[in-house]
Structure 1
């Protein structure tokens, strides 16, 4: 395990103690989350949560292109192939990976100290899982957020079954079905970000946080100080123009349907002349039919559930996407062979049978305890 995959720093604060800084350090891979990175980050966050000298935590990514472009899906497919060739333990690596990832995401959502996430550049999939759990989710002019699982045969996971339901009616479903890319203004409008801070002010903001006189052990005081500092740096008027909000009523009209087949048909049949909507339609048209069903079903199942319940359910479905679904084929086509011609198991959304869909919700551990039962 290489500790260089995540850099950790304790930057001294003016009144004693420190700010804990964790930096994802795989810029050539756009800081895609490997299992090793997940485990390193989870271990350090647990340590910092218990350390009275750490007043707040800052999470970001190395490089100027991405905070985190998602999970290391190529490694997941590689390990699945090895398990299949060995004829044993099929899905074991996926179970380990997703259990660790969702446990980390849950830790972020429930972190006991101020947690700031610098969501600059590309934020996709697993990167959004890290961002969503932050107490202070900071976006910049370069932020581009997406859940593009429709292109690889997964589905919006990392707690998205829960937090996409917090958006205006139909919007979370639209993002999940189309893999739409949204900017910082959209993220603020939809509750996926808290403040806009210009990218050029990152270092200044960190320095200002370290100038604070935090009182050891007083989390509420630390939270107040962090909020005061962020108020000095936020500049929402500099955010790019909204893409989602001007289309809100239109998106709602497309997605508030009784069946996923109807929503997909409405989106694909939409002829509104708009580049963003057009790109979203094209992505859905080429996307995985099973993913569309899973996105619909998971949002339906977790409209009123707890975050922990959503993660437990997502663990089952994510493992089965690896073992039974289209995930390996989607990753092959997009990221390994790069032919961009996936051979999905179903011709279209209407062709997905109830038995195929039901199989995705069968827990690999049967009626026994699951890996995330303790959340």
Structure 2
């Protein structure tokens, strides 16, 4: 069985709709290098195909679009590098460099794709899944959507261009989400600009049918309007059914409290404020717990990465993330975090630093250093 399926649905006037379906339900469609390579190749072919009108990207099953990167494979690449097949590296010195370079190239491809890309962000959308969703021209979420960037718990930091899409959020909400890995529902996602349409989770097949029956224009630039019209109709149906009426929006409800918690001059002060907060709201309590269990090194890297990328372009952000992610594998806490949470599952990671105050500034600078004279992503505009 293929880890990713490509389906071409016949549409009117000889056009076709391309569907990409991640096919790894047991791992909640965790993004493997094999999936990434296959998607890059197919997207390139479809972009040059005048008969391909639009792309729909989703995950198999109804539980997840994608729960994140294949971090277990990254762990094995770090701890047992001699076991990585040479063909998987394709010239890269290690698996981490190859994996992240290709994943971020895929994210960039989605962000800059010439044709409409509808990303079906139903169910769990975390980590690498957020990279896929954020790259879509038309980002769909449903009543089952749960978004998060919980990398602080495994010794990483929010990547996949999160340094680019978290920074603009008002009231320091992006930095709060990065530090706490807080989950967002569909209404939160649209409120913060992570999603465009709220649809019913059982309307994916209806979406494909209506796209196939749409009147596609000869001019490719007008295809985005066709997709928007289809999604608008399906969203109207969800609205009329009252599907999202009772859904809370914690990011709105707690926006002022988050702003005050983050209104400090250093990340140490921000972390202390969050951990000392006495709110009994479930959303804030979960945020405190996640932050308390996070890697102190990751906390410092999150702060530094968001600060240094504040005015960078998407391409510049992805290049900076590539170097930092590779360093998290080579020198940082990623292997230990994955071991504790996903491999041995003892939930007792022995991170490099036990406390935030122990993290050495010089080591943070080492982690943030450029690794190449020319980045593997140097060709991104």
For 1:296 and 1:364, locate their aligned partners in 2 and report how far apart those are by CA, in whole Å: 20
Normalized against structure 1, the TM-score is what? 0.95
For 1:238 and 1:41, locate their aligned partners in 2 and report how far apart those are by CA, in whole Å: 32
Q: CA deviation at 1:85?
A: 9.0
Give the alignment of 1:301-316 within 5 angstroms.
Answer: 301-316=308-323
Q: Does the CA-based 8 Å contact 1:91-1:322 persist in structure 2? A: no
Tell me whether 334-343 or 287-296 shows the greater mean CA deviation: 287-296
Give the alignment of 1:165-180 within 5 angstroms.
Answer: 165-180=167-182
- Deviation per residue, 1:204-262 (Å, 9 max, x gap): 1210111012124x122211111111110113552222111110011011113211101
- 1:287 paired with 2:294, answer yes
Match of 2:355 in 1: 348
Q: Does the CA-based 8 Å contact 1:114-1:219 persist in structure 2? A: no
Number of matched residues?
A: 369
Gaps of 5+ in 1: none
Tell me whether 342-351 or 322-331 shows the greater mean CA deviation: 342-351
- 1:374 paired with 2:379, answer yes
SS in 1 for 2:248: coil
For 1:16 and 1:139, locate their aligned partners in 2 and report how far apart those are by CA, in whole Å: 29
Match of 2:222 in 1: 221
SS in 1 for 2:346: coil
Q: Does the CA-based 8 Å contact 2:77-2:83 persist in structure 1? A: no
SS in 2 for 1:340: coil
Q: CA deviation at 1:83?
A: 2.4
SS in 2 for 1:80: helix
For 1:153 and 1:114, locate their aligned partners in 2 and report how far apart those are by CA, in whole Å: 35
For 2:350 and 2:171, locate their aligned partners in 1 and report how far apart those are by CA, in whole Å: 32
* C-alpha RMSD over aligned residues: 1.7
- 1:321 paired with 2:328, answer yes
- 1:250 paired with 2:257, answer yes
Structure 1 runs (4+) greater than 4 angstroms displaced: none
Normalized against structure 2, the TM-score is what? 0.94
- Deviation per residue, 1:25-67 (Å, 9 max, x gap): 0111100000000000111011111100001100000011111
Gaps of 5+ in 2: none
